[in-house]
Amino acid sequence: MSGYDDSARSFRPLLPRPQPAGDDSVDADAHLPSKRPHTRNACEDCRRRKTKCDGKRPICSTCTSNGGSCTFLSPNPDESRSSAIKRKYDEAQDRVSNHEELYTLLKTRSQAEATEMLHRIRAGVAVDSILRYV
């Protein structure tokens, strides 16, 4: 094998494979398990600035170096953004319907009951607790 001169092979120049502009080609993804750490839950500040976010909590690396505030939509890093939005929406819907119900009660109940409810509101009792009492 040592006697075999393979320098002849080097006649044929080895052209480097043409590199695609983006590294997002399907072929690369098929070969490599996604190498980039893909952060599903980038912080809100990085989203707004369209900067890369490593999703580090409580403050991501980008916000640390920028000295900015860092807020995350969901307190749970494993919760996807869409389910966090859905959950926030549901919570908001609950709050709205609770307040609407309270408003209706204040309109329709007797003066004494309405006054009692008002007392509780002013005492800082949560709306859903007042509704439970009624």
Tell me if 41 contacts Zn ion by CB under 5 A.
Answer: no
Give 60 or 102: the residue with its C-beta nearer to Zn ion.
60
Task: Using CB under 5 A, count the residues that bind Zn ion.
Answer: 8
130 lies in the binding site for Zn ion (CB under 5 A): no
Contacts of 43 (CB under 8 A, 6+ apart): 53, 55, 60, 62, 63, 70, 71, 72
d(CA 53, CA 40): 9
Residue in 43, 102, 117, 130 binding Zn ion, rule: CB under 5 A? 43
Query: Residues in the site for Zn ion, rule: CB under 5 A?
Result: 43, 45-46, 53, 60, 62-63, 70
